[in-house]
Chain A
Amino acid sequence: MSILDGSPGTTTPGGDRAHSLLVSETDRDQRVGATAWVDEQLSGGAKVFYKARPEVWGGDPHWLLGPGGSPRASRALTTGQLEIMDFVEVVQAAGGTTQGLRELQFDEITRGLGEGWARVAMSQESPGRPLADEAEIAEFTTQESAYDELARDWPLTTLCQLTLVHENPVATWETAALHSGDIVDHQWSALWHDGRWRVRGELDASVVQRFGAALHGALRRCFQENADPTLHVDASEIEFVDVATAQSLILSAHSAGRRQRIVVHGADEVLRDVVAAVGRPRSLEYADEAGSPR
């Protein structure tokens, strides 16, 4: 599995794919994806800081070092290129606060670079946070934003992991929305590229909730960060869209309608058929229509 390149359109020291989300159905799927990413970062010369959930795997936080883990991990652990902490250790080191976590991350970056590594890569496994109220969601948002902020100033690459079997619907939704800029989720993915939200793959009822969350996140990002809040969607690499996905797209367009437009680039005739069958609102346009930007 490869993590594709993409960025929100800004130049960052962290480079492309500075902050990604990997969605997995099960622990097994998660390990496959995480292993590939760790291998990629290690072979690319990055110092890797990996945060694991020990309780999930019977108290062994180092599955990365085992038969199902990364072939490079054992040696990397020995050389110091890889450091693994479990969440209990992280909470202790950070003093249980968001600020403490930020300081821990900063320390890891400076230490990694100080050791001579050209880049730093961080990954944390699915946290299983309840996100039971707005305060907790806000705190989660702040913690996630820290990765983007750090990546603007430092050569940092972050992979967040979302393993669905451990997460509730609220956490799944909020996590997908926060990672609209770079999400890899089974048969579909999305990332920012040249000012457009590029969506690839197959979108259907099995992933529609996460797609809808990511779309919401993309709209929110455009609204908050851009002078023109229009969301430009590159649909040229979408291979399949079902009615449920079209409904999600249209629902988002309806709810954003008064403040934002969605302009879809590269929509093929079948995608247009599906969207038309559900009912396209005025706030959803195709880039090749008169009056719409190309």
Chain B
Amino acid sequence: MTAAAHDARGGLDHIGHVYDPATGLTPGVLPHVRAALAAGTPVSAVVDRGERRALHDALGPGAGITFTPPADLQQSSWAFLDHLRDVGRTPGGGLVVAQYSVFDIPDGELRQGEDDVNEFLGDLPVTLLCACPTTERATRRAMAHGVHPRLIRDGETRDNDGYRRPGTSLEVRTGVHALGLTFRARADLQHVRDQVAAVARAAGLAHRDRRACVLAVHEAALLVVGEGVSAGAEPCVLDMWTGDGRVTAELRGPSAGAPTDPAFPRDASDRPEPLEYVRLFCRDAASTDDGDTRLVKFVAARGRVRDGEPAG
């Protein structure tokens, strides 16, 4: 396994690590921890008791690692960011290891926090290593794959092709309008998939990308159609565009529930959000819900599909 101390560029190094709970997170993060300690920079670990013991056993007594209680960082939505800033004040930066499973917060809040880290702390000279066990629910695992510019895979820390930069405006109505159809129930989705596959094929997507595009539309369609649209209500709508090397889609359906604040048109993040399932199979996705209409849009991958993380 390889790792380097905090990157000399001086900005945030935000790394994701999806690990098998049978082996624990320690083997994957240990090179980073050792590098940081060798460089004389502080290391803060926000982990459960088992991982605390494993790190202690691996590093030996007096290693200098600080174990920060998770509860201390959940007192406010900014507590974790403040902790990162504290670690980053040390000359040369520092390392924070954060285990997803110790944070008792909704997925939406966790994602907001990850996006805030990327958006607001990009210049902070800190390495933040977020560890997610493979047994976490799918939306969190998908999040781990999508919010980290770098990932630990097979013992190597590499750039993450599946990273989605937060705050980027997602424009999908570009190119040629390739498909427009309505649907009302889950039973309609087989037909929807057939039509999407035809669009993807005509757009020249390779086989695996076509399948991913179909999956993304399918998962997005499940979001907007829910249990089905009641008789007399407006049907759900799917539109797709192709061109300039992209395949994009926009789906509209009835609102999923309470409207989000229009000043912050992000995901409805106060509950587990399966938009992450859409993100598994596309380049980028976003959704809004204004209380009347739910909108999901995404950009399909072209020539590139995200790899899933094997449980091992």
Contacts and interface: CB of A to CB of B under 8 A. Distances in A.
Contact of B138 (A186, A243, A281, A282): A243
B95 interface: no
Interface residues of A, number: 25
Contacts of A187: 190
Main secondary structure, interface of B, reads helix
Contacts of A205: 186, 189, 222
B277 interface: yes
Contacts of A279: 134-136, 138, 141, 311
B119 interface: no
B141 A277 contact: yes
A187 B306 CA distance: 27
A280 B214 CA distance: 22
Interface string B84-122: 000000000000000000000000000000000000000
B305 interface: yes
B311 A270 contact: no
Name the residue among A187, A272, A279 with the largest chain B CB count within 10 angstroms.
A279
Contacts of A274: 215, 280, 308
A25 interface: yes
Given A242-B218, A276-B311, A277-B308, A204 B208 contact: no
A29 to B, nearest CB: 11
Interface string B204-242: 000010011011001100100000000000000000000
A273 interface: yes
A172 to B, nearest CB: 15
Contacts, number: 73
Contacts of B218: 204, 240, 242
A227 B236 CA distance: 50
Interface in A236-294: 240, 242-244, 247, 269-270, 272-282
Contacts of B258: none
B276 to A, nearest CB: 9
B183 to A, nearest CB: 12
B308 A275 contact: yes
B8 interface: no
Given A242-B218, A275-B308, A270 B208 contact: yes
Nearest to A278: B138
Given A243-B274, A279-B311, 18 more contacts: A202-B193, A205-B189, A206-B190, A240-B214, A243-B138, A243-B277, A270-B208, A270-B212, A270-B215, A273-B212, A273-B305, A274-B280, A275-B308, A276-B308, A277-B138, A279-B135, A282-B22, A282-B312
Interface of B: 22, 134-136, 138, 141-142, 145, 185-187, 189-190, 193, 208, 211-212, 214-215, 218-219, 222, 274, 277, 280, 305-312
